[in-house]
Amino acid sequence: MNKKELRQQFPITQKFTYLNHAGTGPLSSRARKVIDDCLCIYQQQAEFDLDDYWRRIHNARLIVARLLGAQCNEIAFTANTSEGIFIGLSNLPLKGGDKIIVMDEVFPAVRYVVDNNFPHLDKIYVSFAGRSGVDVVSRYLDDHVRVVVVDYVQYLSGSMIDIDELGKFLHERDIYLVVDGIQAIGAVECDLSRGNVDILACGAAKWLLGPSGIGFVYVNKGLWQDLKKIHTGWLGADWRDFYDCSKRPLMYEDARKFEIGTRNVMGILALVENIQIILELGIQHVHNEIIVLKNRLREELKKRGCTIITPESGPQSGILTIQHPESNRVFQRLIESKVMISLRSGNLRFSPHFYNTVEEIEFASRQFDPRYY
Ligand SMILES: Cc1ncc(COP(=O)(O)O)c(C=O)c1O
């Protein structure tokens, strides 16, 4: 598929220069069609035929697993990232007084879950800014540290952690690694097959192009037998049909046990349709496209004297953030020109995806010429 065809999958391109995938990713037409088909089924026959339902859910799990280099039973569907972080931290075999190291720069989603649901854990927030994950945590390790929680990609600066290296380091010390993946998955290659990450939670709403209100959590198979059963319910069991509910099937012994009740099938199927687009293009290709656009943007904005806060060296995410003395005015100008980005704490955050073009990057950059704002 060439870029023109690809862009037809994203009607938003007709209206906006949309460079805000770290904010919210727009739904593809393919995913919308899947939602329309689901609505038709709900309207005309109330529910999916059971065999079709199981087949679709299994296939959806396979598609998410393929994106992550995981196994299909390592995936449970959730409503969002926060739910996945909650499931992970609730089910790790931790006890009162165990210590948890949390990246200080996490998006509030992780912070709210950690601070409000785990009063029995001793939390320390440490800054990862500008340093490797291993460097940071090695300074804070003691016998009580049992978990480290990080954002794979920091939502503001776009700096990215090498979660494989960090997880390996932690596993050698019997410490778990829990990752918020929402700012990375769909934009960067992620291979969890080496088993160095324990939990990775991700929502669909950003780089996976929606829809909002659906997500997944990866639960490393090496953990299954040690995990508790919190946030587990009837659909965490191996039902084949519902003709005789007095015969209760056993719970799954894998990630699926965390699917507590009736699933958001429409969300799941639309999400995996978007993931299919990414897999058909190849995640490496997707990442390369993003990096080409990001490099060009960096170049153009540097030329115009912007201060770029996103690290230039090290692994690259899809985010490029800058500081500008007139950030509010430039942001308004961008909106007037139908260029969509995010304004965060006075910083301007760009996040292009694979279907954006160099021409769009040039157009967005031109809005920084002083005569415009
Ligand atoms: C790093 C990060 N984590 C999580 C979220 C959102 O969390 P949730 O999917 O639970 O709404 C965001 C942005 O909205 C984010 O940038």
Tell me the per-residue pLDDT of 109-148, one tens digit each, with 9 for 90 and over: 999 999 999 999 999 999 999 789 999 999 999 999 999 9
pLDDT confidence of residue 4: 94
| Nearest alpha carbon to residue 22 among 348, 308, 364 | 348
Residues β-bridged to residue 332 = none
Calculated CA dihedral for residues 254, 255, 258, 260, nearest 10 degrees: -90
Residue nearest to atom 16 of ligand 1 (CA): 155
Percent of the chain whose pLDDT exceeds 70 = 100
**Which listed CATH number (3.30.420.10, 3.40.190.10, 3.40.640.10, 3.40.50.2020) goes with 30-280?**
3.40.640.10
> Which among 148, 153, 195 has a CA at the least distance from the CA of 175?
148
Average pLDDT over residues 92-99: 94
Which pLDDT score, from 0 to 100, does residue 371 have?
A: 84
CA of 155 to the centre of ligand 1 (A): 9
Binning pLDDT at 50, 70 and 90, where does residue 167 land? very high
CATH of 3-27+282-372, one of 3.40.640.10, 3.30.365.10, 3.40.50.620, 3.90.1150.10: 3.90.1150.10
DSSP symbol at 252: P
CA distances from 107 to 5, 81, 157, 179, 180 (A): 35, 11, 11, 12, 9
* 322-371 pLDDT per residue, tens: 999 999 999 999 999 999 999 999 999 999 999 999 999 999 999 999 88
**CA 337 / ligand 1 centre spacing (Å):** 27
Beta strands 347-350; 342-344: pairing state: antiparallel
Q: State residue 130's pLDDT score.
A: 79
Pocket of ligand 1 (CB under 6 A): 80-82, 107, 109, 151, 155, 180, 182-183, 203, 215
Using the mean position of ligand 1's atoms as its centre, give its distance from the Cα of residue 81 in Å.
6
Question: How many angstroms does the Cα of residue 240 sit away from the middle of ligand 1?
Answer: 34
Atom of ligand 1 nearest to the CA of 183: 1
Residue bearing the CA closest to ligand 1, atom 5: 109
- Ligand 1 pocket test, pick from 20, 24, 86, 107 with the greatest ligand atom count within 8 Å of Cβ, gives 107
Return the amino acid letter for 166.
L
**Test site for ligand 1: of 89, 180, 319, 351, most ligand atoms within 8 A of the Cβ:** 180
Portions of the chain given CATH number 3.90.1150.10: 3-27+282-372
d(CA 11, CA 154): 28
Probe target for ligand 1 pocket from 20, 21, 80, 81, with the most ligand atoms within 8 Å of CB: 81
Residue among 82, 83, 89, 182 whose CB has most ligand 1 atoms within 8 A, to mutate: 182
Q: Has residue 280 got a pLDDT over 90?
A: yes
Helix (H, G, I), strand (E, B) or coil at 121: coil
Q: Which residues, in sequence order, are CB contacts of 261 under 8 Å at separation 6+?
A: 233, 234, 235
Rounded mean pLDDT of the chain?
97
| pTM greater than 0.75 (yes/no) | yes
Positions of CATH 3.40.640.10 in the chain: 30-280
In this structure, are residues 260 and 76 in contact, taking their beta carbons and an 8 Å threshold?
A: no
